[in-house]
Amino acid sequence: MKLETFFEKFDQFADAPDAVEKMREMVLQLAVQGALSERHSSDQDDAAWREFVTRFDQRSCESDTDAEPPFEIPDEWRWACLDDLGTTRVRNDVEDSTRVSFVPMALISSAYGVAAKSEERKWSEIKKGFTHFANGDVVIAKITPCFENAKSAVMRNLINGFGAGTTELHVFRRVTNLILPEFVLLFVKTRGFITRGEPRMTGSAGQKRVPREYLATSPFPLPPLAEQKRIVAKVDELMALCDRLEAQQQDRETRHAVLARASLARFADAPTPANLNFLFHKSYAIPPADLRKSILTLAVQGKLVPQDPNDEPAEELITRIVQQRRAKKAKAYSPVDSDAVPFEAPYSWSWVRLGNLSLSSDSGWSPQCGSESRFGNEWGVLKVSAVSWGNFNPEANKVLPPGMEPRPECEVRSGDLLLSRANTEELVARSVVVERTPPHLMMSDKIVRFTFPEEIEKAFINLANLSAPSRDYYMRNASGTSSSMKNIGREVMCNLPVALPPLAEQKRIVAKVDELLALVDRLESDIGASRVQASGLLAAAVAELVGKE
């Protein structure tokens, strides 16, 4: 495959994760392998190049004995080392009063083609305790994660030609005009150079550094100077093309997002079967998470299925539940004020607080347990993650220590609605309906259980609790200063306003939600398959162009 053909077929790869970034990496790798440039016989006529080749071929490069050339290069090139072409031990000789550039790590970009920025300082202020460099020097971050992120640059336009910066840099300064600093930059930004350097890093986690010797003595692919210039020019051209492709991709994603919002709004205003099809139109590229959220919102607002005038109004159902609660002497919660409702419910629905629908609510028990899950028929205590992710996960538990008596009253039962009382801002008060559960699993004290009469469709209450209006209510009433740990009291849960439909409509809504979410699951699977296919095409195309190192 020709490189031009590769770029022409970008649409086939666009769905691959980080497609443009992988294309940039490929361009750099092709550049240092000589695949972007032609050989010109006149390049070999340069007297300085002929002298270097003659002298170089008569001796061995003083490189790492373990470092074999990582890929093939053209016959006209030479495997050298940066120590053959310059120095990695750099010091400046500058008058103390001279104004120069100061470059902290934050002002060095990971991207190719982005010049380092600088601050103005007096040389006497930064000549000690910092790394020296000058115009034309190549600087490379040596500390993790900056090295892995390809933070490096050719220093240009320094104030008075000199500067200093962060100590976490290696510096290469050429001593011959046979090497172009921009070509060195291409090489140190390649993913191969970085990947080969990672095992060489020393130090503790978070403070690991690649040694200077890796930069100085690694095999370096050296073309004639004229070809280096052609390669750099070609890379600049292709990187500009990558920038345009990325901008087009971002523009397409922006337009798709606008269309997605419009289609969601269209369906919300008129949830007809015809408009439902728009939600699953590939051209709109609606993220599955947004689809799920929209379906849930429409469901609990009564816009997903039509109302049936023959259904018994929810008010009559609530009256019967109130009588059952009085017989159990359950606590009554205040009615929902009209100014507290987040949306207008259909005529046959009624606003009611969650606690006034529940026959009981209770929390579990959190004894001191180890980290092991229970095995077999032992007693276990559920972790909060068992109820945090949309489906009940009985495997998320800790075994009750030997000799500690269980509390059977805390045992989870099929049909329970479980909510997390303490969790992150995103997950606190999330709920699940327990359809099936193994025996001998107890709730922790961070889990709240609600039980309901048979005339309540628990799956609908679960939908209502997970919906956007309920999430907003919980966020307003959560305690805790950190988003990583919020708390919702049982009283707050019991006071949650719920728009309750007639029982028959509750069942129709749950069935329709299940149907639509199955469609979303298939859509998500198709998107994943498309991305895998695009990634495979991209990997194959890159392998064809770059070859194996």
Q: What is the pLDDT of residues 456-484, one digit of tens each?
A: 999 999 999 999 999 999 999 999 988 88
Sign of the Cα pseudo-torsion (305, 306, 309, 314, in order)? positive
Q: Please tell me the predicted confidence (pLDDT) of residue 62.
A: 47
Reported pTM? 0.63
**Unique residue bearing structure tokens 């982005």:** 114
Query: Counting Cβ atoms within 10 Å, is residue 308 exposed (0-12), middle (13-18) or buried (19+)?
Result: exposed
Q: Please tell me the predicted confidence (pLDDT) of residue 23.
A: 83
367, 373, 376, 381 alpha-carbon torsion, rounded to 10°: 30
CA 107 to chain centre: 24
Q: How far apart are CA 416 and CA 414, in angstroms?
A: 6
> Please, which residues bridge with residue 325 across strands?
none
448, 454, 455, 459 alpha-carbon torsion, rounded to 10°: 50
Q: Please tell me the predicted confidence (pLDDT) of residue 544.
A: 60
Q: How far apart are CA 444 and CA 446, in angstroms?
A: 5
Q: Which two tokens stand for residue 158?
A: 């320094």
From first to last of its 549 residues, the chain has per-residue pLDDT tens of 455 555 555 555 556 667 788 888 888 998 999 988 889 989 988 888 988 888 888 765 444 434 689 999 999 999 999 999 999 999 999 999 999 999 999 999 999 989 999 999 999 999 999 999 999 999 999 999 999 999 999 999 999 999 999 999 999 999 999 999 999 999 999 999 999 999 999 998 778 999 999 999 999 999 999 999 999 999 998 888 888 878 877 777 777 677 667 767 776 676 655 666 566 665 556 777 878 888 898 899 998 889 999 999 999 999 999 999 999 999 999 999 988 899 999 999 999 999 999 999 999 999 988 888 888 889 999 999 999 999 999 999 999 998 899 999 999 999 999 999 999 999 999 999 999 999 999 999 999 999 999 999 999 999 999 999 999 999 999 999 888 899 999 999 999 999 999 999 999 999 999 988 888 888 777 766 766 665 666 566 555 655 544
Q: Write b or e for each residue in 357-378: b if 16 or more Cβ atoms lie within 10 A of its Cβ, otherwise e.
A: bbeebebbebbebeeeebeeee
Q: How far apart are CA 530 and CA 527, in angstroms?
A: 5
326 with 453: CB under 8 angstroms? no
User: Which phi and psi angles does 372 have, rounded to 5°?
Assistant: -80, 145
381 with 400: CB under 8 angstroms? yes
62, 63, 65, 70 alpha-carbon torsion, rounded to 10°: -140
Report which secondary-structure segment, H or E, holds 490.
Answer: helix 490-494
Sign of the Cα pseudo-torsion (225, 226, 229, 234, in order)? negative
Cα–Cα nearest to 36, from 7, 10, 13: 7
300 with 525: CB under 8 angstroms? no
Q: How many of the other CB atoms lie within 10 Å of CB of 466?
A: 18
